[in-house]
Structure 1
Amino acid sequence: MDDIFILGAGAMAESFIKGVVAQQAVDPARIRVLNRTNRDRLVQLQEMYGVSPAGSLAEVRRASVVILSIKPYDVLAACKNMADYLSGQTLISFAAGISIAAIQSASGGKAQVVRTMPNVPVAVMAGAIALAAAPDVSAKRLDEAVHLLSQLGEVVVMEEAMIDAATAVSGSGPGFLSYLLEAMEQAAVELGFTPELARRLIIQTVIGTAHVLREWELSPAELRKRVTSPNGTTHAGLAVLAGRGVQQAIVDAMRQAAMRAEEMGLEYTRQE
C-alpha cells in the first residue's frame, strides 16, 4: 500500500486516522488529509496524529487508497473534481445514501469503489461498519479495505442492497438505544437514584448484556427468556412493554429509518 489520501477532516476522518494510527496499521507519515476551507483543522490533525496536510486534490495520484469523509451532498462533485487524478485507486466512501453506481459514474469509472456505513462508536474504536464493494473490486483491495476499517470496530461485508437497512440497524441504532436508555435513566431517578448513579448502573448493564450475548452466542430472545422468571420483576416490566406495543414501535422505527436512508440517497443523486 502506498499513501492514503483522506478528503475531509471532520469527526469520521479523525476516527479513521485515530484507529489506524493507534493500532499501527498505517504509518501516519503515509496519510495525507485535505479539507475545503479549514487549514487550522489540518494542522491540528497533524499535531495530534502525525499525518500530513495535503496541498491539493492532485495528491490523490500518489495514493493507493482514497477516503471520502465528507458530507453526502458533496461526494459526487468531489469525485468529479478528482477524476483526473484517479487511476485504479480504492475509493472508500463513508457517505450515507450515495450508491456505488453514482460514485463510479462521477469518478469516471477510474477507481475501485467501496461503500461503507460506519456508526458513532467508531470514535472509540468500537464501531459497527457495514461494507459493500463494487463487483470490480479485487479480493486484495477488499481485504485491504476491511483490514483498515477493522481498526475502528467490527466490519460486516454485505450486498449493497442491504446498506440502507444497515443504516437503520447500526447507523441509527445508537440513537434508538440512547432513547431507550433515556427512559430507563428517567425511571431510575424517579425511583430515587441520582442521574449520575443511574447512568453508571445503566451503562454497565448495557455493556455487560452485550458481552453476554457475544460470549455466550445467544440471541436477544434467548437471553430475555433466561432472565425472565415467571411472575418475577422482569416479567412484570415486560408485560407493560408488550401492552404498550413497544416491540412493534421499535420495528416500525427501524423500517422508517431504512426508508429515509433510501430517500436521502435519491435526493443527493438528483442534486447532481
Structure 2
Amino acid sequence: MKRLFILGAGSMAESFIKGIVEEGVIDPRDIFVCNRSRRERLLELSEWYGITPADSMARAADTDLVILAVKPYDMMEALKQLRPYLSNQVLLSFAAGIPIDAIRRATGGHPYVIRTMPNVPVAVMQGAIALSAPPTVPRDKLRRVVEMLAGLGQVVEIEEGLMDAATAFSGSGPGFISYLLEAMEQAAVELGFAPELARRLLVQTVIGTAHVLREWDLSPSELRRRVTSPNGTTHAGVEVMQSRGVYEAIVEAVRRAAVRAEEMGREYTREG
C-alpha cells in the first residue's frame, strides 16, 4: 500500500496509526487522516506520528486503501460523503457490527470491502485481528491488506458470521481483561501494596501467562489446573470466584457484547 486514507481519529485509529508507523509499513506522510470535527485532534496525530491531516474526504481519491475508523452510528452518513471519491481503493472497516453488504450498499456497490476487528494492542504490534472478506475482493488485494495487518499482530481470517463474536471477545477483550485487573489491583492495594507496584506485578503476570499459554500450547483450563494445588492459595481464590458466579458472569458478558454488536449493525444501517 502506497497511500492510506483514514476516516476517523479516535483511539482505534490512533492505535492503528501508531502500529503501522512504528512497524515502518508506510511513510507517515502518506497517511492522510480526516476527522468529522476537532481539527486539533488531527494536529496532535500529526505532531506525534507525522501523518498528514486531510481537510476533506476528497483526499481519499488518490489513495490505495481507505480505513473506516468512524463510530458505527456515523458510518452510513460517512460512506455517503465518501462515495464520490471511490474507485479502486480497498475499504477496510473497523466498525463494530456493520456488515459488509451494508457498506457496499451505501457506497453504490463498491466491490472491495473488507471487514475487520483489530484491538488496541495493534499499537504495540501485539494485536488480535479478526478479518473477513467476500469473494469480490481479489486475492492480491486481500493479500496486501493481510500482510500489512500481520505486522501489527495475529491476523485470523474468519467467516463474516463470526465477526460479532470476534468483536465481543477479541475487540472488547482488552476492556474485559482490564476490568479484572482493576479488581485485582484494588485487592493488592487493600493488602498493602502501592498501586504502581501492584500494577507492575499484575501486568507482568498477564504477559507471562499469555506467553505460557502460547508457547506450551495449553488451553486456559489446562494451565489453571496445573497451577491449582489442592487446598492451596489458587484453589482458595478460585473457590470464591466459583461461589460468586464469576465464570458465568464472564460468559454472559461476552455473549451480551456479541448481541450488542449485532444490534448495532441493525440500528445503524437501518434505511429510512
Under a length normalisation based on structure 1, what TM-score does the superposition of the two structures give?
Answer: 0.92
Structure 1 partner of 2:187: 187
Letter in 2 for 1:188: A
Alpha-carbon distance in 2 for matches of 1:31, 1:171: 24
Residue ranges of structure 2 left out of the alignment (5+ in a row): none
Alpha-carbon distance in 2 for matches of 1:228, 1:5: 50
Alpha-carbon distance in 2 for matches of 1:153, 1:84: 33
Compare 107-116 and 150-159 and name the one that shifted more. Answer: 150-159
User: 1:207-229 CA deviation, whole Å, 9 max, x = no partner?
Assistant: 11111111111111111111112
Q: CA deviation at 1:111?
A: 4.0
Structure 2 partner of 1:48: 48
Q: CA deviation at 1:160?
A: 0.8
Aligned counterparts, 1:36-115, within 5 A: 36-115=36-115
Q: CA deviation at 1:179?
A: 2.1
Aligned counterparts, 1:21-32, within 5 A: 21-32=21-32
Alpha-carbon distance in 2 for matches of 1:41, 1:240: 45
Structure 1 partner of 2:262: 262
User: 1:87-129 CA deviation, whole Å, 9 max, x = no partner?
Assistant: 1210001111111000000011124001111222233332222
CA contact (8 A) 2:93 2:115 kept: yes
Alpha-carbon distance in 2 for matches of 1:127, 1:94: 13
Alpha-carbon distance in 2 for matches of 1:175, 1:83: 33
CA contact (8 A) 2:17 2:123 kept: no
Letter in 2 for 1:214: R
Alpha-carbon distance in 1 for matches of 2:152, 2:126: 6
Structure 1 partner of 2:33: 33
Alpha carbons of structure 1 residues 66 and 238: separation in structure 2 relative to 1, 3 Å: same
Number of residues of Structure 1 aligned to a counterpart in Structure 2: 272
Residue ranges of structure 1 left out of the alignment (5+ in a row): none
Alpha carbons of structure 1 residues 211 and 56: separation in structure 2 relative to 1, 3 Å: same
Alpha carbons of structure 1 residues 234 and 265: separation in structure 2 relative to 1, 3 Å: same
Letter in 2 for 1:174: P
Q: Does 2:229 correspond to 1:229?
A: yes
Structure 1 consecutive aligned stretches of length 4 or more whose deviation exceeds 6 Å: none
Letter in 1 for 2:92: I
User: 1:176-197 CA deviation, whole Å, 9 max, x = no partner?
Assistant: 2122222222222232323222
CA contact (8 A) 1:20 1:151 kept: yes
Structure 2 partner of 1:198: 198
Alpha-carbon distance in 1 for matches of 2:220, 2:165: 19
Under a length normalisation based on structure 2, what TM-score does the superposition of the two structures give?
Answer: 0.92
Q: CA deviation at 1:271?
A: 6.0
Question: RMSD of aligned C-alpha atoms?
Answer: 1.8
Structure 2 partner of 1:117: 117
Alpha-carbon distance in 1 for matches of 2:175, 2:29: 35
CA contact (8 A) 2:2 2:26 kept: no
